[in-house]
Amino acid sequence: MGEPSSERWVLGEVILAAHVAIIGFNLFGLVAIPLGAWRGWRFVRRRVWRLLHLGSFAVVALQAILGRACFLTDWEADVVGDPLHAPLIMRWVNAVIFWPLPMWVFDAVYVALFVYVVALLWLVPLHTAARAGVAGRH
């Protein structure tokens, strides 16, 4: 098949960048939500942000339960092909996010983290209109 075209490398890099951004968002939320609750950061109780975080982890956990790799991982592999021919930075970033462990380890971690994110909904409740000072007060 040969080496992919430069357009395919660019698409592969865009997919990888999106993947890294989502991983960063997920990891940030795991730390920011409890820390922000303790420090009084209002954004950690915002409904949209928290539901996006929950939804992102739900997708990850569902893929793990179904025994599938992340769809972004599959998509990048389909676009780029042989990772040994990938540009150096792409190989380096992939080495950081893809650890050489059995898949069941990742599956267990993803499901456990999803349970933690769900628990955070109770431990650090979302703002309600009344608690946020929106209902009845201006």
pLDDT of residue 130: 52
Write the Ramachandran bin of 104: left for phi over 0, alpha for psi from -120 to 50, otherwise beta: alpha
Whether the pLDDT of residue 132 is over 70: the answer is: no
Structural domain containing residue 62 = 6-123
Q: How far apart are CA 129 and CA 23, in angstroms?
A: 30
Residue 119 belongs to some domain of the structure: yes
Residue 128 belongs to some domain of the structure: no
Whether the pLDDT of residue 124 is over 70: the answer is: yes
pLDDT range class, residue 98, cuts 50, 70, 90: confident
Residue 104 belongs to some domain of the structure: yes
pLDDT of residue 86: 67
Can you say how many angstroms the Cα of residue 104 is from the centroid of all Cα atoms in its chain? 18
Identify the residue with better confidence: 51 or 70: 51
Whether the pLDDT of residue 131 is over 50: the answer is: yes
Q: Tens digits of per-residue pLDDT, 18-56? A: 999 999 999 999 999 999 999 999 999 999 999 999 999
Whether the pLDDT of residue 2 is over 70: the answer is: no
Q: What is the number of structural domains in the chain?
A: 1
Whether the pLDDT of residue 81 is over 80: the answer is: no
Q: How far apart are CA 32 and CA 105, in angstroms?
A: 24
